[in-house]
Structure 1
Amino acid sequence: MITDVEAATPALCRLQLGSELRQLRLASGLKGSQVVQKLRWSPSKLTRLETGENSSVEPDDVVALCDIYDADAETRARLHGYSVVTRTKRDWWLTREYRPVIAPGFKAFLDLEATATAVQTYQSEFVPGLLQTEAYVRATHQRSLMELSAEDVDRMTAVRTTRQEILARPNSPLKYLAIINEAVLLRNVGGASVMRDQLTHIVHMVESRPNVRVQVAPFRSGAHPGMNGAFVVFQFPEKLALKPMVYLENLGDAWVKRSDSDVEQYADAFSELQSLASGPQESLSMIKEAIKEH
C-alpha cells in the first residue's frame, strides 16, 4: 500500500485504488455484474475503476463500493485518500498542454511507466521511446502520423522527452532493460545524421547510467518470440498491491494485459529474447559499428 498518500502521484493512486477495489470485491465473493446491479452503474464504470483508467475518481463512488464490500475504517480512509489525490492533482501528461495528443491507450501506458520500478521492453521497428533523441522522435511522428499538425508534433516530442526524466528519477531511477531488433540499428530514420546522433545517444545512456541496459537481437538469432510484435513488461514496487502488467499496441489500438497467464507468457518471451540476444558489451559493439555505417 502507499504509505504517504498525499505525496503520491495521481497515476500511482489510480492504479493502487483500482487494484485494492478489485481485491475487496473478490474477497467479498461478489461478481462485477452483482456490484453494478446494486449501484445501478454501467459495467464499464466498474471496470474503469478497477483498472485505473479514469483520470479522476469520485470519492462518493469509493464510499459506495466500500459500503458494499464492508471495508474496515482504515481501508475506507486509505481508499478515500487515493480518490482525493486523483481529484486534486494532475499528472503532467494530463495537463492542458499535453492532453490533446494523449490517446486513452497511451495514457494507460504513461500511468504504468510513471509508477513502475522496472521496465522490460522489446522493440522490433524503432528505438524505444525512453532512449530516443528529439530529432528521432520528430522523424518518426512526421512520417508515421501525417495527420498531426506541426503544433501536435511539438507536443508529442515534448511528451517523449519529458518521459525520459524517469531514468534519472531521484532516489529510485527506473530500471530499464531494452532489447531491440538489429533492424532498428540499420533503418534510416530521419537521415544519416539523425541516426548517428541517435545511436550515439544510446551508447551514452548505457555507458553512463547503470540502470539502463540495451541488448540487440541479431539477425543470426533466427526465429524468436518477439516476432509477433513489440511489448513492454512493467514491474512495480513490492509494497504495492500491483502485479506486473504488459502493454501492447499497434497502429490503431493499445491494450494492457493484467492476467497472470498473459504476464507470464510475455515475461517468458522476454527471458528467451535475452538469451538469444547478444550480450550487453557485444550489443554496444554492434551499435557502434552501425554508427560507422550511417
Structure 2
Amino acid sequence: MPIASNTAIADRERYRTAVLDVSAAYRGDRTVLAGRYCTSPIKIAKTFPEDKSLCVMIMDASPGMLKGDRYEMQWAAEAGAQLCLTNQGFTKVHPCTPELGASMENRYRLAAGACIETMMKPIMLYKDASFTNRTVVELERGAVWMQGEALSPGRVLRGERFAYERLDNRISVYYEGELIHHQKQLVRPGRQLIAAPGAWETYSHLGTFLVFSDRVDTALLESVRAVLDRLPFSSDQLYAGAAMTYRHGLTVTAAASSSWIVQHMLKEVWNEVRQTLLHLQPSRIGSVG
C-alpha cells in the first residue's frame, strides 16, 4: 500500500470532506438508482418517480458549510436514464478565515441519451464567507444537462448585503471529450465596485440557467426569449437575457431585486425548456430556489 504524501495528509487535516456518489440506470420503463454512497453530513433524503425520470432530494444535515468544509458530489447517468436533482434548503456558507474557505465540486457524467436536471436552492454567503464552487459536465451524444442557479447577496434582513469575502464559481462542459464551454465568476465585494455600471448596479440577486445538448438549437433560444419577454416584472425588478453558447448550449443570465423574482424566472425558463426540448410537463419538485 502506498504511503500518503505529506501534502495529502495535510489536506485531510486541513479540510473536512463529505462525499456523495450516485449512479442511475434506465430499467424497463423507468429510471432507478444503480448505486449510491455518501458520508456525513450530505445524503439522499428521498427519491420519487416522475414519468420516466427519478427525482432525487439531497439533504445537508448540518447548519451550513463552515471553514474547511469540502463537498464532493458525483452523478452518473447511464444511457437513457433521467435524473431531476434538488435539495431541501439553501446552500449556506458561514464565515471563513481568509486563507481557508468552504468548497463544493459537482461532477456529472451523462451517457448517450441520458438527462440530468439540476435545480438547487439558492447559494447564500454569510458575512465574511469564502466559497469555491466547481461544476464539471461530461456529455455523450444525445445527452441533456441543465442547471438553474440563484445567488443571494447574503442575509439581507440582517444587513449582510454583499458582506461576504469571496465567491469563486466555475463551470466546464465537455461534449464527447471536447471542452465546449467554460465560464468563471469571481466576486470579491470588498475589492470590487458592486454597484458600478455593468456590475450589479441596483440589483441584489443573480440567476443563471444553462442547458447543454446537441439538441439545443435557435428555435429553443427563441422560445426561451419569448418566456423572458412575458415575465410580469419591470426593468427595475429584473434584467435578463438569453444567448447561444459556442457549441451545443444555451445560457440565461438575470439580475434581479429579490430572490423570489429570480426563482420565478428560473422556474418559467425551466418549464419551457422541459416542454420544448424533452416534451415533459413542469416538474413536481416546485420552484427553483
TM-score range, shorter chain: under 0.3
Question: TM-score, normalized by length of structure 1?
Answer: 0.28
Question: TM-score, normalized by length of structure 2?
Answer: 0.28
RCO (CA 8 Å, sep 6+): is it higher in 1 or 2? 1
